[in-house]
Structure 1
Amino acid sequence: MQVYLVGGAVRDALLGRDVKERDYVVVGATPEQLISQGYQQVGKDFPVFLHPKSKEEYALARTERKQGQGYTGFICDFAPDVTLEQDLIRRDLTVNAIAQAQDGSLVDPFSGQQDLENRVLRHVSDAFSEDPLRILRVARFAARYHYLGFTIAPETQSLLTEMVKAGELSTLTAERVWLECEKSLSDGAFSEFLNVLASINGLHVISPELESKWGDELYHTFQARFDYANKLQINDTALLFSQITLSLSNDEIKTIASNIRLPNEVRDLALFSQTHQTTLSAEKPTSEAVFACFNQLDLWRRPERFEQVLKVLEISQHQPISCFESLTKAAKQARAVNPQQFIAQGIKGAEIKTALEQARLEVINSYFS
């Protein structure tokens, strides 16, 4: 039995990046052997095991053959005679198909090290096209390593374009598309991810409307926003995703939410930010507009929602909005108005709400006319 470190851990170590997780491949073993050593099998039909102490993943060397459509239609063969090279050839990119033996030596049958040096993302074999999820994975890797100068090999770019043209993206579940978006958002390079998808005519998997608007100007706008967010070390998914929806309509945002199953908090912040950006970004908003905004955001019970929208707008403008101080002070004082004070005055029923709203509006009037 031989154990090799594989995939992202090897790739990132060679690039000098922090290694966040380690995956291993085991050659020449059976499930029974690993289980007898205390490894815990993950699932019944997939040869992945958790180490008894480190809980890191150890997968038996395997081959795959396509059966059916989509990215789940594969049959795995994980017999003990499957070689390391047979396991590596089923991987997506050459830079992910490098293995490291326990003595530290590298096994690199597909010249992944050379592609790392040349900053090229290249598919390993024609089997790449059997898995449509790899379209999004390559876009994500290209975005993540863009700052290092990585580009997609021309032949891989052509293959991705052909896969998109053949409708492969339509076989992906909405949840899986969102997961890849979420991973790219956490990498801090979502504008690059979108740009890669646009370059292969695949941006419609997220938003046909965004694809129709795509161009250098929009790309650079998003790039500047994410650069600003990165400088502030902002990694909240909802705040970041809202940066690409500010230029869309409410209906278009709802379409995205339906297409890729946006989490409710991401969808809601995108809608709130789009709806209220004009009022909150204005140099001199009217008190009536500000009051309506506070009511619609339910500032009285959900002050954090208002704060999030302000942060979305700050990222989009690369600085706090012009009325930030006045808005935050008005919001704090208006929230402090207590309906109990009107009850103590003998006001009853529906008149309490009227008095409460009038008092809040008077507070806002002191900041905005």
Structure 2
Amino acid sequence: MRSYLVGGAVRDRLLGRPVVDHDHVVVGATPQEMLARGFRPVGKDFPVFLHPDSGEEYALARTERKTGHGYHGFAFHADPGVTLEEDLARRDLTINAIAQDEHGALVDPFHGQRDIERRALRHVSPAFVEDPVRLLRVARFAARFEPLGFAVADETMALMRAMVANGEVDHLVPERVWAETRRALGEAQPSAFLRVLREAGALAVLFPEIDALYGVPQRAEFHPEIDTGTHLELVLDMAARLAPGDDLVGFGALCHDLGKALTPTDVLPGHIGHEHAGVAPLRALATRLKVPAEHAALAELACREHLNAHRALELRPATVLRLLTTLDALRRPRRLDSFLAVCEADKRGRLGCAEAAYPQAAFLRAARDVAARVGAAEFLARGLTGPAIGAAMEKARTAAIAALPRPARG
């Protein structure tokens, strides 16, 4: 019985990145032997155990065989005769198929170290095409590692295109699509996730509402990048910069401009009313992927209200208060912060605008703060009751917002 550190822990150590998870593969053991040593079983589809002291995962070496479509279409085989090389052969990318023994020596049968040096995301074997989740994983790894110079190998991209062409991607279940998307939105360069999926032909299959944005023009005086798909990529990366690791903000950024794909061609490059037109495709996407309610709610607010945020310094005080009420900002201040991160990413996610100021955010936060200080107690003390209290509070909050200094527009 021997155990090896595998996967991301080895890869990230070689890249000089922080190692978060330590996963191990065990060769030459049975489930009974693992239990006898105090390991706790957690695996449902195949034998995975938690170390009795460290709590780290130890999986028995296994092979897999394709039995049907999709992520669940596999039969797994684990016994003491499965070798380390056989276990590594079933992994997705060469950079994830490196093992390290207890002495620190590396086992690298598929040249993952070479691909780390070459900055290549390359499949381990032709069996890559059997699991459609791998296509999403490659796109997610691109979102993580493209800032380090990584790119998908040509031969791997060819396999990914084949997976789309043969319909394997059609068997992806919504939960897995969302899980990988959510993780990609929390990476350093989520735009790479879209680019890789689009190059493989998978964006049109999995995210038709987003794919439809590419090639749609915008007014150059507001969007020097012109193309709406390019703008979306810039917004996603700016959102990752403003709110690192925050997939809630990332999803709002992803969906904020979906209505622009629906603009009639005779109106282009203008997009009047796109903020309202985008609500229906957003709801369709969120329903199809079973997106969490808070993500869907923030994305819809960002879609519908981002232009009001951009105009905040010109809005009347009563309109500012209505915007804050729509966002439920007085009761949920963190939602306002997430919303403003999306709006700022939209404003700065344009060619040449990455360092632009966005004073609207500070103004709306200040408006939230002064409005929130107005409570019901003062009006109860005056003897007001029922609707009169609400009306008085609204008037006082509007006056407080009106008294705020308004900075110059960014």
What TM-score comes out, normalization by structure 2 length? 0.82
Q: Distance in 1 between matches of 2:87 and 2:49?
A: 16
Whether the aligned pair in 2 keeps the contact of 1:310 and 1:321 (CA below 8 Å) is no
Aligned to 1:269: 298
Q: In the aligned structure 1, how far is the partner of 2:27 from the partner of 2:160?
A: 31
Q: What is the distance in 2 between the residues matched to 1:174 and 1:233?
A: 25
Structure 1: unaligned runs, 5 residues or longer: none
CA 1:342/1:71 → structure 2, altered by over 3 Å: closer, same or farther?
same
Tell me the CA shift for residue 205 of structure 1: 5.1
Partner of 1:98: 98
The structure 2 residue matched to 1:250, chosen from 259, 271, 279, is 279
Indicate the larger mover: 309-318 or 18-27. 309-318
Aligned-partner SS, 1:301? coil
**Residue in structure 1 matched with residue 86 of structure 2 by the alignment:** 86
Cα deviation for residue 311 of structure 1 reads 2.6
Q: What is the CA distance between 1:327 and its match in structure 2?
A: 3.0
How big is each residue's C-alpha offset from its partner over 1:136-165, in whole Å with a ceiling of 9 and x where there is no partner? 011111221112221212111011011112
Q: Give deviations 1:9-66, integer Å, cap 9, x for gaps.
A: 2222222222222222122211111111111122355121111111111111111111
Aligned equivalent of 2:220 = none
The residue number in structure 2 matching 1:158 is: 158
Q: For the residues of structure 2 that align with 1:286 and 1:44, how far apart are their CA atoms?
A: 58
- For the 8 Å contact 2:5–2:25, the answer to whether it is kept is yes
- 8 Å Cα contact 1:9-1:22 kept in structure 2: yes
Identity %: 44
- Residues 50-104 of structure 1: per-residue CA shift (max 9 Å, x gap): 1111111111111111112211121111121112222121111122222222233
1:309 pairs with 339, 357, 361, which one? 339
3-state secondary structure, aligned to 2:49: strand
Query: Would the alpha carbon gap of residues 295 and 232 (structure 1) be closer, same or farther in structure 2, given more than 3 Å must change?
Result: closer
After superposing the two structures, state which structure 1 stretch, 264-273 or 100-109, moved more. Answer: 100-109
What corresponds to 2:351 in structure 1? none
Q: Which residue of 1 aligns with 2:219?
A: none
CA–CA distance in structure 2, aligned partners of residues 50 and 224 of structure 1: 41
- Residue 109 of structure 2 is matched in structure 1 by 109
Q: Quote the residue 1:147 is aligned against.
A: 147
User: Do the aligned partners of 2:190 and 2:237 also contact (CA within 8 Å) in 1?
Assistant: no
User: Is residue 249 of structure 2 the alignment partner of residue 239 of structure 1?
Assistant: yes
- Does the CA contact (< 8 Å) of 1:222 and 1:244 recur in 2? yes
Q: Which residues of structure 2 form unaligned runs of 5+?
A: 216-224, 259-277, 349-355
CA distance in structure 2 between the aligned counterparts of 1:234 and 1:138, rounded to whole angstroms:
20
The answer on whether the counterparts of 2:214 and 2:230 sit within 8 Å (CA) in structure 1 is no
Maintained 8 Å contact 1:15/1:116: yes
Contact 2:121-2:150 within 8 A present in 1 as well:
yes
With normalisation by structure 1, the TM-score equals 0.91
C-alpha change, 1:31 and 1:287, in structure 2 (3 Å) is same
| Cα drift, residue 190 of structure 1 | 1.1
Provide the aligned C-alpha RMSD in A: 2.4
User: Are 1:284 and 1:368, in contact at CA under 8 Å, matched by a contact in 2?
Assistant: no
SS at match of 1:64: strand
Q: How does 1:1-369 map to 2 (within 5 A)?
A: 1-43=1-43, 45-204=45-204, 206-214=206-214, 217-218=227-228, 220-232=230-242, 234-248=244-258, 249-282=278-311, 283-318=313-348, 321-367=358-404
| Displacement over 6 Å in runs of 4+ | none
CA gap 1:292/1:262 in 2 versus in 1, 3 angstroms: same
Q: What is the alpha-carbon distance in structure 2 between the residues aligned to residue 189 and residue 144 of structure 1?
A: 6
Structure 2 distance, partners of 1:146, 1:195, is: 11
| Range 261-270 or range 131-140, more displaced | 261-270
Length, aligned pairs only: 369
Amino acid at match of 1:337: V
Question: Do the aligned partners of 1:242 and 1:269 also contact (CA within 8 Å) in 2?
Answer: yes
Bigger shift: residues 208-217 or 181-190: 208-217
Q: Measure the CA separation in 2 of the matches of 1:2 and 1:263.
A: 41
- Give the conservation status (yes or no) of the 8 Å contact 1:120–1:150: yes
